[in-house]
Amino acid sequence: MALLTTAVATFVLGLSEAAPQTGGFSETLRNIKRCNGESPPSPAAQIRGCTLLIEAGNETKTLLIAYNNRGNALAKNGDYEAAIKDYDAAIKLSPEFAKAFNNRGLVYRKKGEYAQALEDFAEAIRLDDKYARAFANRAATLEKIHAYERAWRDYDTGAALQPGLSEVWSGLCWTRAIIGELPAALDACNKALTMRPDDAATLDSRALVQLKMGQFDLAIEDFNAALRMQPRLASALYGRGLIRLKAGDVAGGEADLGAAKEIEPTVNAEFSRFGVER
């Protein structure tokens, strides 16, 4: 199913006459590229580059972005507490820095601290009401607490602000499928797949829409396509199993349902919540 995993933002660090030249201009430039994740492109190199810039005591703008970028790299490494400390440092330097609130919200969501994540996304949106990714991130967090009506409204706002952002269409596909707005959901699915045709989560979401619409052949095609990319996608296995049972393929259907429950024991309860019963 389409759960949004929205990318954290990085920023281009600029040079200024006030930037310290410790190690020379070329070394400062190398650290800036490392901190931006450019050279070489790895979290470890990014952390090292940002750390050197921070230790050099650069101007506030450079420090602000270095803390933010290092937080992003630390989050990629799974070091969530250190990442939060860096976002805290960025926010302390500039309480109006919406990106740091957004990125910290992503880390809180990964930790399962949804209330704190929602607070951070709300603050990012308050600071920048045109911040489409923050709306998408808040929507994905609202999904976690099953607030689907609120989630689709945030996705809808994100789509209006940034129509080229595939995550918002994938999110609209999924949330509208759950609440039963099936034609609108199908339209959103198709838009998302135009941008990212090989996205297993969106194919899975479109299959759910088609299942709820009674378009079983199309649903099977999408479930199969999703499973070719992610063979252990429990929701696709469960959805395909339901259709197989409806078609009289008891052995195939039970096999799919059993495999889905082994991967995700609560998958049947989730489908019931989505309005699809066995």
Task: Using pLDDT thresholds of 50, 70 and 90, give the confidence band for residue 4.
Answer: very low
Mean pLDDT of the chain: 90
pLDDT above 70 (res 3): no
Work out the average pLDDT over 161-168: 96
> What pLDDT, in 10s, does the model give residues 59-76?
888 899 999 999 999 999
Q: Which residues contact 100 (CB under 8 A, 6 or more apart)?
A: 64, 67, 68, 71, 87, 90, 91, 94
pLDDT above 50 (res 276): yes
pLDDT above 50 (res 18): no
| Contact present, 241 and 249 (Cβ < 8 Å) | no
Residue 112, helix vs strand vs coil: coil
pLDDT above 70 (res 34): yes
> What pLDDT, in 10s, does the model give residues 217-234?
999 999 999 999 999 999
pLDDT above 90 (res 11): no
**pLDDT value for 25:** 60
pLDDT above 80 (res 113): yes
Residue of higher predicted confidence among 38 and 185: 185
pTM for this entry: 0.86
**pLDDT value for 38:** 86
Residue of higher predicted confidence among 149 and 17: 149
pLDDT above 70 (res 16): no
**pLDDT value for 61:** 87
pLDDT above 60 (res 166): yes
Task: Using pLDDT thresholds of 50, 70 and 90, give the confidence band for residue 24.
Answer: low
H helices, E strands: number in the chain? 15, 0
Q: Which residues contact 162 (CB under 8 A, 6 or more apart)?
A: 132, 133, 168
For residue 83, which amino acid is it? Answer: A
| Contact present, 32 and 20 (Cβ < 8 Å) | no
What domains can be seen in the chain, in order of their start residue? 20-94 (1.25.40), 220-278 (1.25.40)
| Contact present, 175 and 272 (Cβ < 8 Å) | no
According to the per-residue pLDDT averaged within each range, which of 2-16, 34-48, 124-138 is highest? 124-138
Work out the average pLDDT over 213-220: 97
Task: Using pLDDT thresholds of 50, 70 and 90, give the confidence band for residue 241.
Answer: very high
